[in-house]
């Protein structure tokens, strides 16, 4: 996304067309576009209505990098284009930010036909989607994910939410976007720690849903860590394809979709215990996957070699594999607020094998054993 010199323009015109993945859920279906240079290409938005009001939602880190160029591209199509820049960080995934989005919509003259554009990582995406679900009882929105984590996971599937001090994502709605645009060029400005956090969700989808993809991640991890664009394009495309299929089969998480929460019961408790933001979401999920693999092994599902492969891959990615200094009992208590908990009993995504996951309640004493051992590789 550099300024377009003639040479860059020529290169852009030779760019391959984006990969197009369909989230096929009847009248709420939509495309995910994966490619380079998409955010500022007018063709990206060609299917959107002309002459509506648009508001781009971003944050104080991402807006200076990309928002003006996106807004000027949208001005070719929309009647009025507003921009709101939220404070950056997980701790701001809360009501005041939602109110700011409503204020910007009203200031731009947005009616029920207005469109929101979420330009940023998962925090901006979740906030914007939630505001879109609420404003005038629901307006359209587009996801423009700029982190690896948002491109491979959070921008797809219509889960929107804000946090509550007692737990992650407790206030929210299912509200599908109309389009997802994963522009791989935005990953060039992403800090390495954030890239690594995104790899946690790539590992997650391989571990929970596709053993061959897990093998591919093991073999190509170094390329992704080195930002090889071909490897990252493949990781984003494959993760989105797998997620689109899960969402097609279980949009509202009645059953199957819960497998996409592998590592998250532990991970959400780590995030809540450490005060949203100290650990990145992907880091908490990384450690959570090591614990969940260990729990699966102790329950006799996953063999020790495969549990060790999960732990080794998480560690090699540069993600934490040991718990923070928080009492096991405190983490166990926080898990009771997890959305998968039923009747006061937390439920976990367990692996029977790599690529094969299920959800089950687990007796507290076993969970405490895993927490006390703290994510040690089996
Ligand atoms: P994030 O949104 O906080 O972004 C990480 C950091 O990178 C931020 O500081 C951000 O400003 C910055 N950033 C974003 N894009 C950048 C770029 N291109 N260049 C430079 N800096 C950039 O974090 P995240 O990891 O993207 O998302 C985590 C959030 O996503 C959590 O709140 C989590 O709960 C949520 N999530 C939601 C779903 C879902 O299905 N809705 C799934 C997974 C995670
Ligand atoms: N990130 C899990 C899901 O979208 O269901």
Per-residue pLDDT of the chain (378 residues; tens, 9 = 90+): 443 344 444 444 457 889 999 999 999 999 999 999 999 999 999 999 998 999 999 999 999 999 999 999 999 999 999 999 999 999 999 999 999 999 999 999 999 999 999 999 999 999 999 999 999 999 999 999 999 999 999 999 999 999 988 778 999 999 999 999 999 999 999 999 999 999 999 999 999 999 999 999 999 999 999 999 999 999 999 999 999 999 999 999 999 999 999 999 999 999 989 987 789 999 999 999 999 999 999 999 899 999 999 999 999 999 999 999 999 999 999 988 777 778 778 899 999 999 999 999 998 899 999 999 986 544
**What predicted TM-score, i.e. pTM, was given to this entire model?**
0.94
Asked if 261 is an active-site residue, the reply is yes
Residue 112 lies in a domain: yes
Asked if 137 is an active-site residue, the reply is yes
Residues 137 and 246 in one domain: no
Residues 174 and 299 in one domain: no
Domain end residue (candidates: 145, 166, 189): 189
**Rounded to whole angstroms, how far apart are CA atoms 158 and 244?**
11
Question: Ligand 1 centroid vs 255 CA: distance in angstroms?
Answer: 26
Q: Specify the pLDDT at position 374.
A: 82
Marked catalytic residue, from 90, 185, 194, 201: 201
Marked catalytic residue, from 92, 175, 204, 268: 268
Do 246 and 235 touch, CB atoms closer than 8 A? no
The domain that holds 178 is classified in CATH as 3.40.50.1970
DSSP H helices, 14-94, are 68-75
Domain end residue (candidates: 155, 189, 223): 189
The domain that holds 216 is classified in CATH as 1.20.1090.10
Residue 1 lies in a domain: no
Residues 162 and 221 in one domain: no
Residues 201 and 133 in one domain: no
Q: How many domains does the chain have?
A: 2
Mutating to test ligand 1, I would choose from 36, 85, 150 the residue with most ligand atoms within 8 A of its C-beta, which is 150
Do 13 and 5 touch, CB atoms closer than 8 A? no
Residue 65 lies in a domain: yes
Asked if 92 is an active-site residue, the reply is no
Asked if 268 is an active-site residue, the reply is yes
Closest-CA residue, ligand 1 atom 44, reads 154
Question: Ligand 2 centroid vs 242 CA: distance in angstroms?
Answer: 11
Q: Identify the residue whose tokens are 């007692």.
A: 166
Q: Which ligand is nearest to the CA of 191?
A: 1
Question: Ligand 1 centroid vs 160 CA: distance in angstroms?
Answer: 13
Asked if 253 is an active-site residue, the reply is yes
Residues 196 and 176 in one domain: no
Residues 144 and 236 in one domain: no
Asked if 178 is an active-site residue, the reply is no
Residues 184 and 282 in one domain: no
227 phi-psi bin (left φ>0, alpha ψ -120 to 50, beta other): left
Residues 58 and 97 in one domain: yes
Residues 16 and 160 in one domain: yes
Do 53 and 108 touch, CB atoms closer than 8 A? yes
Residues 167 and 60 in one domain: yes
Q: Identify the residue whose tokens are 């993809």.
A: 213
Q: Which ligand 1 atom sits nearest the alpha carbon of residue 197?
A: 25
Q: Which ligand is nearest to the CA of 277?
A: 1
Closest-CA residue, ligand 1 atom 38, reads 154
Residues 206 and 183 in one domain: no
Marked catalytic residue, from 253, 271, 298, 340: 253
Marked catalytic residue, from 93, 175, 204, 264: 264
Residue 63 lies in a domain: yes
Question: Ligand 2 centroid vs 262 CA: distance in angstroms?
Answer: 10
Mutating to test ligand 2, I would choose from 177, 248, 260, 265 the residue with most ligand atoms within 8 A of its C-beta, which is 260
Residue 25 lies in a domain: yes
Residue 173 lies in a domain: yes
Asked if 227 is an active-site residue, the reply is no
Question: Ligand 2 centroid vs 319 CA: distance in angstroms?
Answer: 20
Look up the domain containing 182 and give its range: 6-189
Bridge-based pairing of strands 347-353 and 356-361 is antiparallel
Q: Strand 53-59's sheet: what is its strand order?
A: 19-23, 30-35, 179-183, 140-145, 115-120, 53-59, 80-86
**Rounded to whole angstroms, how far apart are CA atoms 232 and 235?**
5
Q: Which helix (H) or strand (E) holds 350?
A: strand 347-353
Residue 117 lies in a domain: yes
Residues 309 and 172 in one domain: no
Asked if 365 is an active-site residue, the reply is no
**Ligand 2 pocket list (CB less than 6 A):** 153, 157, 159, 257, 260-261
Domain end residue (candidates: 189, 221, 241): 189
Q: Which ligand 2 atom sits nearest the alpha carbon of residue 253?
A: 5
Marked catalytic residue, from 168, 204, 281, 298: 281
Do 231 and 10 touch, CB atoms closer than 8 A? no
Residue 138 lies in a domain: yes
Cα–Cα distances (Å) from 355 to 23, 82, 104, 212, 213, in that order, read 21, 43, 43, 8, 8
């Amino acid at each position: 996304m550099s300024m377009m010199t003639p040479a860059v323009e020529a290169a852009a015109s030779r760019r391959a067309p984006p990969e197009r993945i369909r989230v096929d859920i009847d009248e709420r279906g939509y495309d995910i576009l994966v490619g380079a240079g998409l955010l500022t290409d007018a063709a990206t938005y060609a299917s959107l209505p002309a002459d509506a009001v648009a508001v781009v939602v971003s944050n104080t880190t991402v807006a200076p990098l990309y928002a003006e160029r996106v807004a000027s591209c949208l001005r070719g199509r929309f009647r009025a284009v507003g921009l709101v820049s939220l404070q950056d960080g997980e701790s701001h995934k809360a009501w005041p930010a939602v109110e700011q989005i409503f204020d910007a919509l009203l200031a731009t003259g947005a009616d029920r036909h207005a469109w929101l554009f979420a330009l940023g990582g998962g925090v901006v995406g979740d906030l914007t989607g939630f505001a879109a679900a609420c404003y005038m009882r629901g307006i359209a929105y587009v996801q423009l994910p700029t982190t690896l984590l948002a491109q491979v996971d959070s921008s797809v599937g219509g889960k929107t939410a804000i946090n509550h001090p007692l737990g992650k994502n407790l206030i929210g709605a299912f509200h599908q976007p109309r389009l997802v645009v994963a522009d791989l060029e935005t990953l060039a400005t992403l800090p390495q720690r954030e890239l690594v956090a995104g790899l946690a969700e790539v590992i997650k989808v391989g571990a929970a849903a596709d053993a061959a993809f897990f093998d591919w991640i093991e073999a190509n991890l170094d390329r992704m860590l080195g930002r090889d664009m071909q490897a990252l394009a493949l990781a984003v495309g494959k993760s989105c394809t797998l997620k689109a299929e899960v969402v097609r089969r279980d949009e509202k998480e009645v059953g199957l979709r819960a497998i996409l929460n592998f590592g998250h019961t532990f991970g959400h408790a780590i995030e809540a215990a450490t005060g949203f933001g100290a650990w990145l979401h992907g880091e908490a999920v990384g450690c959570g996957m090591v614990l969940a693999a260990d729990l699966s092994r102790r329950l006799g599902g996953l063999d020790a070699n495969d549990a060790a492969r999960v732990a080794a891959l998480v560690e090699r990615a540069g993600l934490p594999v040991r718990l923070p200094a928080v009492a096991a009992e405190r983490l166990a208590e926080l898990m009771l607020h997890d959305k998968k908990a039923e009747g006061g009993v937390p439920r976990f995504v367990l692996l029977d094998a790599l690529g094969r996951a299920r959800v089950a309640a687990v007796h507290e004493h076993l969970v405490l054993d895993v927490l006390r051992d703290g994510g040690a590789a089996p």
